[in-house]
Amino acid sequence: MDTRSEGMKEKRQSTAEIVFVWFLRLMAIIAMISGLSYWSQLTGIGGADLPRFDELPVHWQVPWVVLAVLLPCASMGLWMLTSWGVVLWVAASILEIAVYGVWSDSYISRPTVVIGHIVALTVLAAILVVIGLQRYRDRVN
Nearest to 33 by CA among 46, 15, 21: 46
Residue 5 falls within a domain, yes or no?
Answer: no
Per-residue pLDDT of the chain (141 residues; tens, 9 = 90+): 455 555 566 778 889 999 999 999 999 999 999 999 989 888 878 666 667 777 788 888 899 999 999 999 999 999 999 999 999 999 999 999 999 999 888 878 889 999 999 999 999 999 999 999 999 998 998
pLDDT reported for residue 107: 79
Domain annotation covers residue 117 = yes
Coil, helix or strand for 53? Answer: helix
Give the per-residue pLDDT at 60. Answer: 86
pLDDT the model gives residue 49: 67
Q: Does residue 3 lie in a domain region?
A: no
Cα–Cα distances in Å, from 115 out to 49, 66, 73, 109? 23, 21, 22, 12
Number of domains in the chain: 1
Tell me which residue range forms the domain holding 133: 15-140
Q: Which amino acid appears at position 130 of this protein?
A: V
The answer as to whether 2 is a domain residue is: no
Tell me if 105 is assigned to some domain. Answer: yes
The answer to whether residue 8 is domain-embedded is no
Residue 81 lies in a domain: yes
What is the value of pTM for the model shown?
0.84
* pLDDT of res. 8: 61
Res 3: pLDDT: 55
Residue 107 domain flag: yes
